[in-house]
Amino acid sequence: MISPIRSLGQEARLVLENAADGVAALRGPSLRLGVTGLSRAGKTIFISALVHSLIEGGRLPLLAAYKQGRMVGAHLKPQPDDQVPRFAYEDHIAALMENDRHWPSSTRQISEVRLVIEYESARFLKRRLGPGTLALDIVDYPGEWLLDLPLLSTSYEAWSREALSLSGGGTRKMLAADWHKLVEKADPQDPEDESLAKNLAEAFTAYLKSCRDERHALSALPPGRFLMPGDMEGSPALTFSPLMLEEGMKAKKGTLHAMMARRFEAYKRYVVEPFFRAHFARLDRQIVLVDVLSALNAGREAMQDLERALTAILSCFRPGRNTWLSRILTRRIDKILFAATKADHLHHSNHARLEAILARLVDRAIARSEMAGAEIAVLAMSSVRATREVTVTRGNMELECVAGTPEAGQTLGGQTFDGKREFVFFPGDLPENPDSVFEANGAISAQTDAMPDIGDPEVRFLRFRPPKPARKSAVPLKNGLYLPHIRLDRALEFLFGDRLE
């Protein structure tokens, strides 16, 4: 619970921050874009591709201002929040485009970027005032931290019970065995004990990490800092674990229970709250990136888990409900785009099915969270397209395949890729009925001759290296090279096309 005095302090600060935004708005309009997504959903790649395509140019026919030749230019400017490190845009683009093309590593810290777009207005009168500007502010952060948002309105006791009940079924039960043994022995009423707390926290962290493994791809794994501690590695605020607590049990002073509850509250107050206050309070629009394909790859349990995690997160945005977030949200988010990322792993003939699965996934989440009022769209996209499409004829069958360079070390059908050779891959067809992916047993995608190792969930979708940058004279480009994508321009048009009119 937040004490009234602290709430007042927070609100006063937000009022000041918003006043500062108001002053900034006098200098030119700005839009704070929330890029929301669990770990590996594709946030860093999306932000890098967005900035690159607007600064350097590329194929963006679905972004009206670009298509109509009204974009004057875009450049990075100092961001409004001086205390947050700058998004390492140049490093990420170098990783993606330079000789040994590779994906940037997982994000370990929060960072921010401000992109100022100059455009000619489509409106006659506005155009006479000179070029318009729009400042886009975007924050990048480790996706694991997003999982902590629902914790803000949960007590230690409720979280403990939920975490233990979740770990008692399916794959989690097996992965949690070592931690369970310790929890069963730990009596919450015993005196507090630092080394026991440490052992419990370590076993709990090991369980969370194994759930996240690609083979299981489970999503609902708070606390996020246990998976990605950032600069909190080894801090006592991270040394806690759920305990076996009976309904209505109260923490008595000096007990293990009290110690764990105190640390849980400290984690929320000193780690989680400041992050969400800085990042979420002032959002205008939001894109929620979802790696549907990895969850599909791992099977029904992973899909259900992804749904559980998204529902818990989205319910915090529920307008009118007295959640911690609803109290600090100072602006109304008027547009939300749900995007299934990495669509380049599939032939485009399957993109509508991917969208249908995502719509089904977030439909449930939105219905439960009553995220009403905002304009919502669903899209299958790829911020950076690592594959091209090829049709392969097998007898009298035409297979719609994708071709790309699998990352070094990836394996399929007994062969190990060297990261240099291109490979043609048939990913199979997604099910026509989106309901089936939540109900079917085990792994989901189709089986084909081209995927002899179908039994191994790791190989269902290969990980491809970033593509060779494309060069096209017909496309207006600053330095001649652009990153291919799928519907990135449609996403940009939805998110801020109206602000470039």
Ligand X SMILES: Nc1nc2c(ncn2[C@@H]2O[C@H](COP(=O)(O)OP(=O)(O)OP(=O)(O)O)[C@@H](O)[C@H]2O)c(=O)[nH]1
Q: Closest separation between CB of residue 91 and Mg ion, Å?
A: 12
Q: What phi, psi does 500 have (nearest 5°)?
A: -110, 20
Does 36 bind Mg ion (CB under 5 A)? Our answer is no
Q: Rule CB under 6 A: which of 430-449 touch ligand X? A: none
Binding partner at 344 among ligand X, Mg ion, none, C-beta below 5 to 8 Å by kind: ligand X
Amino acid identity at 290: V
Does 405 bind Mg ion (CB under 5 A)? Our answer is no
Binding part of the chain for ligand X, among 37-45, 295-303, 351-359, 395-403 by CB under 6 A, reads 37-45
Closer residue to ligand X in complex, CB, 146/359: 146
Q: Rule CB under 6 A: which of 102-141 touch ligand X? A: 103-104, 106-107
The answer to whether the Cα torsion of 235, 88, 325, 382 is positive or negative is negative
The torsion angle over the Cα atoms of residues 145, 150, 156 and 161, rounded to 10 degrees, is -110
Binding partner at 384 among Mg ion, ligand X, none, C-beta below 5 to 8 Å by kind: ligand X
Binding part of the chain for ligand X, among 119-127, 277-285, 382-390, 435-443 by CB under 6 A, reads 382-390
Binding part of the chain for ligand X, among 100-108, 125-133, 435-443, 475-483 by CB under 6 A, reads 100-108
Does 341 bind ligand X (CB under 6 A)? Our answer is yes
Query: Please, which residues bridge with residue 191 across strands?
Result: 255
Residues in CB range of 422: below 8 A, 6 or more apart: 403, 404, 405
Does 464 bind ligand X (CB under 6 A)? Our answer is yes
Distance CA 130, CA 118 (A): 10
Does 39 bind Mg ion (CB under 5 A)? Our answer is no
The answer to whether the Cα torsion of 22, 25, 29, 32 is positive or negative is negative
The token duo for 474 is: 């017909």
Closer residue to ligand X in complex, CB, 263/385: 385
Binding mask 141-180 for Mg ion (x = CB under 5 A): ----------------------------------------
Does 52 bind ligand X (CB under 6 A)? Our answer is no
Q: What share of the chain is helix, strand, coil (3-state, %, to 5)?
A: 45, 15, 40
Binding part of the chain for ligand X, among 7-15, 169-177, 254-262, 378-386 by CB under 6 A, reads 378-386
Closer residue to ligand X in complex, CB, 251/361: 361
Among 48, 53, 79, 107, binds Mg ion (CB under 5 A): 107
Cβ pair 341, 383 in contact under 8 A: yes
Helices (H), 28-79: 43-56, 64-67
> 133: which DSSP letter?
E
Distance CA 403, CA 311 (A): 35
Binding partner at 39 among ligand X, Mg ion, none, C-beta below 5 to 8 Å by kind: ligand X
Cβ pair 336, 390 in contact under 8 A: no
Query: Please, which residues bridge with residue 401 across strands?
Result: 390
* β-strand pairing of 411-412 with 415-416: antiparallel
Q: Closest separation between CB of residue 403 and ligand X, Å?
A: 12
Tell me how many residues contact ligand X (CB under 6 A): 23
Contact residues: ligand X, CB under 6 A: 37, 39-45, 103-104, 106-107, 142-143, 341-342, 344, 382-384, 386, 463-464
